Chains A and B, each alone.
Chain A
Amino acid sequence: MEQLIEQLKTQIIEALNFEDMTPADIDTDAPLFGEGLGLDSIDALELIMLMDREYGIKLADPKAGKAIFQSVRTMAEYIQANRTK
């Protein structure tokens, strides 16, 4: 799980163009939206594309996104349970 979390942080930094940030700067349990990383709605769409592209996960239920994208840890847990690649 820890390896997946580190990989996911790197992918988030690249996908969202956080050019001044390293994986160590991202708190695994901090909120992704609002406080914490402060992502916006376009970033949310990029994360959905990232999960599809990198892990073969298509989010069929938009309501589930709120729980999945709570933090890097919740994303990683969802990926580990649902990945197809």
Chain B
Amino acid sequence: MRVSHEIEITPAAVVLNGQPIATNEQGEKMLVELYRRYVKDYPKFFKMDTLSRLGFIAAELLLQDQPVAAVILANRSASIKNDTDYLATITGENYYPSPALFVYTLPNIVTGEIAIRHHIQGETSCYILEKPEQLEPIILSQINRQSPILAGWCECSGPNTFNAKLQIIWNN
């Protein structure tokens, strides 16, 4: 197993292949700043929940033109941030459930968003794990391919509490 590229995103910092990327904003606003600077042409980004925005931006900066066979992510909090936002639309007297929020009440939606954008037709999985280290045996079981895979930790529990560490991983 070999890691060729890696990105880490926290609410205050972005590090791509060991090099920090300067940003003016922090938290959710930083993800929008990165979209406006590096992506620009995918307005569906604005419909995504924070977890999907995080995974999408991380994949966008990391993959660029590198094809991958699969995307395997994991996190601890599933889609709790968006679940909470959705709950707010169905609680109390103002019962107006939001369809746009409802469609993101599953953590694996982030892998689907990445797969659609990068035409990944292999496995897309999102595991709920206690620690990032627990993902490693899962990756090892999936990496018997010629092409690399995109894998890593993509965690979001609030608008300003998230972290992602995604890697391009090869079999050799």
- Residues on A lying within 8 angstroms of B by beta carbon are 15-20, 42-43, 45-46, 49, 52-53
CA distance A19 to B97 in the complex (A): 21
Inter-subunit contact A17/B96 (CB<8 Å): no
Is B47 part of the contact surface with A, judged by Cβ < 8 Å?
A: yes
Inter-subunit contact A19/B96 (CB<8 Å): no
Q: How many residues of B contact A (CB 8 A)?
A: 11
Inter-subunit contact B98/A17 (CB<8 Å): no
- Chain B nearest CB from A34 CB (Å) reads 16
CA distance A18 to B96 in the complex (A): 20
Closest B residue, CB atoms, query A20: B43
Is B1 part of the contact surface with A, judged by Cβ < 8 Å?
A: no
Inter-subunit contact A45/B99 (CB<8 Å): yes
CA distance A20 to B32 in the complex (A): 11
CA distance A19 to B47 in the complex (A): 9
Could you name 13 residue pairs across A and B whose Cβ atoms are closer than 8 Å?
A: A16-B100, A19-B46, A20-B46, A42-B47, A42-B99, A43-B100, A45-B99, A46-B100, A49-B96, A49-B98, A52-B96, A53-B94, A53-B96
- Chain B nearest CB from A60 CB (Å) reads 17
Is B103 part of the contact surface with A, judged by Cβ < 8 Å?
A: yes
Closest A residue, CB atoms, query B97: A49
CA distance A85 to B95 in the complex (A): 16
Inter-subunit contact A46/B46 (CB<8 Å): no
Inter-subunit contact B96/A42 (CB<8 Å): no
Residues of B contacting A46 in the complex (Cβ-Cβ under 8 angstroms):
98-100
CA distance A46 to B31 in the complex (A): 24
B99's partner among A17, A18, A49 (CB-CB below 8 A) is A49
